[in-house]
Amino acid sequence: MTQITLALSKGRIFEETLPLLAAAGIVPSESPESSRKLIIATNRPDVRLIIVRASDVPTYVQHGAADLGIAGKDVLIEHGGEGLYQPVDLEIAKCRMMVATPVGFDYQAAVRRGARLRVATKYVNIARLHFAQKGVHIDLIKLYGSMELAPLVGLADVIVDLVSTGGTLKANNLVAVEEILPISSRLVVNQAALKLKHDILQPIIAAFRGAVLQ
Ligand code: ATP
Ligand code: MG
């Protein structure tokens, strides 16, 4: 029997993917939040899930360790998307990639006078491209989390981060000053698997696509 493996991350992506899986007739046999298992069986003997870090999903799919995966556009841009087919925007885990600064920092004025900006972010490729397109010179400071702290302690002038409600920014006296791009999660498929396992993958991709439109 041909087996397929779907790579998912815990948290919001797993939760928001459950209805899409259901549309494809896939029901996980347990929750990764409670079970701690990294390989999760489903009601379908030919489908299993693996639970990986959100930013590792493209890597598992690119190398064929997973046939399919679900990853944020942020993660896909940072990864580069090599070897990945991206057939469906699932319109889940929606947020926006934004530039944010401390309240009172005049970002537009700094840009106008050609100031060099210190930018702290986890999303170095997105940030580099954005400021290059604006013609703004930056010093990029790579962080792995809690970007909001950086401007508060003088590590950076601005941050590039994902924003949904803006609550975390507000709690830290920061404000979003520019949208870079809207973000949602995409279905990604290993290009070789799409050919070799077409008969089993195609109906799953179609079910996901159909579930998005509702
Ligand atoms: P980790 O939290 O383990 O460092 P991560 O932040 O990349 O990793 P999640 O927080 O689970 O992982 O985010 C997974 C994806 O969900 C992100 O890649 C992004 O596309 C999306 N996302 C992140 N933050 C939000 C948010 N506040 N609202 C909606 N979607 C978000
Ligand atoms: Mg996170």
State whether the beta carbon of 169 lies less than 6 angstroms from ligand 1: no
Q: What is the pLDDT of residues 38-49, one digit of tens each?
A: 999 999 999 999
Residues 74 and 17 in one domain: yes
Q: Which amino acid is at 93?
A: A
Report which protein residue has its CA nearest ligand 1's atom 16. Answer: 93
Residues 123 and 179 in one domain: yes
Residues 104 and 161 in one domain: yes
Residues 81 and 161 in one domain: no
Categorize the per-residue pLDDT at 8 as very low, low, confident or very high, splitting at 50, 70 and 90.
very high
Q: What is the pLDDT of residues 105-158, one digit of tens each?
A: 999 999 999 999 999 999 999 999 999 999 999 999 999 999 999 999 999 999
Residues 41 and 147 in one domain: no
Question: Can you give the pLDDT at residue 70?
Answer: 98
Ligand nearest to the CA of 92: 1
Give Cβ neighbours of residue 31 (< 8 Å, ≥ 6 apart): 14
Domain of 156 in residue numbering reads as 95-183
**Spatial distance between the Cα atoms of 80 and 90, rounded to a whole number of angstroms:** 19
- On whether the CB atoms of residues 57 and 69 are closer than 8 A, the answer is yes
- Torsions phi, psi of 180, nearest 5? -95, -55
Question: Can you give the pLDDT at residue 213?
Answer: 75
Number of domains in the chain: 2
Residue 16 CA, ligand 1 centroid: distance in Å: 12
CATH number at residue 141: 3.40.190.10
**Residue 161 token pair:** 């981060």
State whether the beta carbon of 128 lies less than 6 angstroms from ligand 1: no
Residues 63 and 162 in one domain: no
Best of 8, 10, 12, 185 for a ligand 1 pocket test (most atoms within 8 Å of beta carbon): 12
Residues 89 and 109 in one domain: no
**Spatial distance between the Cα atoms of 207 and 211, rounded to a whole number of angstroms:** 6
Question: Can you give the pLDDT at residue 198?
Answer: 97
Residues 85 and 100 in one domain: no
- On whether the CB atoms of residues 100 and 169 are closer than 8 A, the answer is yes
Residues 152 and 199 in one domain: no
Mean pLDDT for 201-208 is 97
Residues 66 and 145 in one domain: no
Residues 41 and 121 in one domain: no
Give Cβ neighbours of residue 146 (< 8 Å, ≥ 6 apart): none
Give Cβ neighbours of residue 123 (< 8 Å, ≥ 6 apart): 74, 77, 78, 97, 160, 161
Mean pLDDT for 174-181 is 98
CB atoms within 10 A of CB 128: 15
Residues in a beta bridge with 99? 160, 178
Mean pLDDT for 191-208 is 97
**Spatial distance between the Cα atoms of 50 and 69, rounded to a whole number of angstroms:** 9
- On whether the CB atoms of residues 207 and 25 are closer than 8 A, the answer is yes
Ligand nearest to the CA of 93: 1
State whether the beta carbon of 53 lies less than 6 angstroms from ligand 1: yes
Residues 12 and 89 in one domain: yes
